């Protein structure tokens, strides 16, 4: 019966020790330990959305980074709309300061006469011999300057000078350069001629024709064409 007080004393001391170990701070820490019945919800990574739990899935007002410009009208639309703005000229209403239609005003510069070329002079001499071969002496006479007077013969004298000639063949050599004079151009066309007379005789000539043409403004068509002004032909002996 004397052992009961000892047992009672041990129980009282053990309870006191246990009671002192469980302070309010320990109780609070116990509530924060995993497995407690009531736990505070802290933000944790949300692997599914790549963000943090409790944060909005989309950004709020104000874009992140440099804002992109709002889509505007295309440049063609701007040009089309500008055509109808006040003060914008168009084909129907374009006017200059004097009230005239500027689109209808054309300033043409006077054009200088075209410069002659050597081939045209050669073609003139060739046409001259074509007329002689065909017996068109009157036409051949007019290939000389001043209406034929530059030949030094009258039309009849000119025709008579070819009375004994049957045919003529002409070889054209390289023409000389075109020389300029006041309102005129000159050129030499070298030739070699073989003339066959009606009796069968053959004569050969070598030399050149000198031609002239006008280039002045207002010159007549006759003066603007190449015409023979002189001939220097010499017979070539075998």
Q: What's the maximum distance between 2 C-alpha atoms anywhere in the chain?
A: 192
What confidence score (pLDDT) does residue 71 get? 52
| pTM metric for this prediction | 0.53
Nearest CA to 208 out of 187, 188, 238 is that of 188
Question: Tell me, what's the pLDDT at 74?
Answer: 52
Structure tokens at 202: 């053959």
- What domains are there in the chain, each with its CATH number? 118-235 (3.10.450.50)
pLDDT of residue 114: 66
Contacts of 220 (CB under 8 A, 6+ apart): none
Q: Which residues contact 187 (CB under 8 A, 6 or more apart)?
A: 118, 121, 175, 176, 177, 178, 179, 210, 211, 226
The Cα 173–Cα 171 span in angstroms is 7
Whose CA is closest to 212, among 174, 232, 182, 173? 182
With tokens 């168009």, the residue in question is: 90
CA distance 39 to 166: 138
CA terminus-to-terminus distance, the chain: 185
Which pLDDT does position 184 carry in this prediction? Answer: 94
pLDDT (0 to 100) of residue 41: 53
Going from the first residue of the chain to its last (238 residues), give the mean pLDDT of each consecutive group of 10, the final group possibly shorter. Answer: 46 46 48 48 50 42 44 50 45 45 49 76 97 96 96 97 94 96 95 96 97 89 93 93
């Amino acid at each position: 019966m004397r052992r009961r007080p000892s047992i009672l004393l041990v129980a009282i001391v053990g309870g006191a020790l246990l009671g002192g170990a469980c302070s309010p701070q320990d109780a609070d820490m116990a509530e924060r330990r995993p497995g407690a019945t009531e736990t505070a919800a802290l933000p944790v990574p949300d692997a599914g959305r790549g963000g943090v739990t409790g944060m909005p899935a989309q950004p709020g007002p104000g874009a992140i980074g440099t804002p992109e410009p709002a889509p505007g009208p295309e440049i063609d639309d701007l040009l089309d709309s500008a055509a109808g703005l006040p003060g914008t000229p168009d084909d129907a209403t374009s006017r200059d300061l004097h009230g005239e239609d500027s689109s209808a005003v054309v300033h043409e510069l006077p054009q200088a006469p075209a410069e002659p070329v050597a081939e045209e002079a050669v073609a003139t001499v060739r046409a001259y011999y074509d007329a002689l071969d065909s017996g068109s002496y009157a036409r051949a006479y007019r290939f000389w300057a001043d209406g034929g007077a530059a030949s030094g013969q009258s039309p009849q004298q000119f025709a008579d000078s070819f009375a004994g000639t049957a045919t003529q063949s002409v070889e054209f050599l390289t023409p000389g350069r075109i020389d300029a004079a006041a309102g005129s151009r000159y050129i030499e066309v070298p030739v070699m001629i073989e003339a066959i007379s009606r009796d069968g005789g053959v004569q050969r000539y070598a030399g050149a024709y000198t031609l002239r043409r006008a280039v002045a403004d207002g010159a007549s068509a006759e003066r603007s064409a190449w015409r023979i002004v002189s001939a220097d032909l010499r017979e070539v002996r075998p």
